[in-house]
Amino acid sequence: MGANLKEVRERISSVKNTQQITKAMKMVSAAKLRRAQQAITRLRPYAEKQNAMLKNILANLGGEANISFGKERELKNVCIVVVTSNRGLCGAFNSNVIKAAERLINGKYAALRDSGNLKVLCIGKKGYDYYKKRIPADSIITDYVALFDDLSFDNVSQVAKYLMKSFEDETYDAIEVAYGKFKNAATQFMISEQYLPVTQAASLIDEEEKLESKANYIFEPGMEKLLNQLVPSILQSSFQKYVLDTHASEHGARMTAMDKASENAEELLKELKLSYNKARQEAITKEILEIVGGAAALEGG
């Protein structure tokens, strides 16, 4: 019985130590989340307004717009950008982002995957750790795995510039991004969006919306020159949004996961303490019975 009590005491101590760690991680994630949430909430209205403006212009111009980032070509080579976190302990966050990417890879682009014409660009170590075991090494782009070490606009825009150049050079005919879209600390959406070509975005506007937004634009300087300067800026902002959205989503998911882990530890502690008290009472009762039995034996003798 003594050995059983010692084992329960050790488990209680272990669970308490674990609970301290999960509570500390929750507090750290909460602090990081506040900063990450501020960053995405500042950028999102700007990026979304830029995208809305671009969609509006392209929808109104119809086939008149001839921009380099809007050329739809036969799909011969595709790049999927997978934006995950560097660290785990954030629930199913990373696996859900990867699932969003896998739906593209194994569905829409399955033929290109089989022919070896699909590349995966990994941002974040968790996505890289997943794909390095499952696809050929030459199908993974690892140059930006450590992007989360520096989330400045200048650094993140290097990835956007690489993707834009690759599209212009016809290295890739389409580029899609799988990432975590942040809503709040408890809710994130793991989705994929087409990044290039941009004209696909215009096709998402329904006819009624086109009629409502119809406008007669005057371009100064010329339309193509203006769009070819405007679109790269919008694409860089959009990519910054993908990364900051994922960054905030990661910390929200980790904070929620650590909160649940702390609650589970508290429940486990209650059960262990109950087990400990029962075992202790049984040991005390046994000792009393032995003493009474011994006393009775002495009296009888």
Q: pLDDT at position 203, please?
A: 46
Query: Could you tell me if 91 and 185 lie in one domain?
Result: yes
**Rounded to 5 degrees, what are φ and ψ at 183?**
-115, -60
For 7-33, what is each residue's pLDDT tens digit? Answer: 888 889 999 999 999 999 999 999 999
Question: What whole-number distance in Å separates Cα of residue 261 and Cα of residue 232?
Answer: 43
275 and 147, same domain (yes or no):
no
User: Same domain, yes or no, for 93 and 225?
Assistant: yes
Give the active site residue among 58, 90, 174, 255.
Answer: 90
85 lies in the same domain as 56:
yes
Distance CA 274, CA 277 (A): 5
Please list the ranges in the chain whose pLDDT falls under 70.
1-3, 58-66, 199-217, 300-301
pLDDT at position 291 is 85
Number of domain units in the chain: 2
User: How many Cβ atoms are within 10 Å of 120's Cβ, its own excluded?
Assistant: 24
Instruction: Tell which residue, 119, 118, 122, has the closest CA to residue 94.
Output: 122
SS3 181: strand
The model's pTM: 0.83
Q: Are residues 173 and 265 in the same domain?
A: no
Measure the CA–CA gap between 290 and 252, rounded to whole angstroms: 57
Asked if 179 and 187 touch (Cβ cutoff 8 Å), the reply is: no
Instruction: Indicate if 141 and 13 belong to the same structural domain.
Output: no
The first and second tokens of residue 269, run together, are: 């502690």
Q: What is the pLDDT of residue 170?
A: 93
At 23 the pLDDT is: 93
Residue 300 in tokens = 């009888």
Q: Are residues 60 and 201 in the same domain?
A: yes
In terms of domains, do 252 and 124 share one? Answer: yes
Of 93, 139, 47, the C-alpha closest to 257 is 93
Q: Please tell me whether residues 48 and 146 are part of one structural domain.
A: yes
- Residue 79 annotated in active site: no
8 A C-beta contact, residue 245 and residue 180:
yes
Look up the CATH number of the domain holding residue 189: 3.40.1380.10
Asked if residue 197 has a cis previous peptide bond (ω within 30° of 0), the answer is yes
- The reported pLDDT for the residue numbered 190 is 93
Residues 236 and 195 reside in one and the same domain: yes
pLDDT of residue 225: 75
The Cα–Cα gap between 281 and 160 comes to 67
User: Are 171 and 73 in the same domain?
Assistant: yes
Residue 266 is part of a domain; what is its CATH number? 1.10.287.80
Measure Cα distances from 31 to 86, 188, 200, 211, 255 in Å. 18, 18, 38, 45, 10
Q: Is 73 helix (H, G, I), strand (E, B) or coil?
A: coil
Residue 153 and residue 104 share a domain:
yes
CB-facing half-sphere around the CA of 12: CA atoms within 13 A: 15
Residue-number span of the structural domain to which 288 is assigned: 2-22+260-300
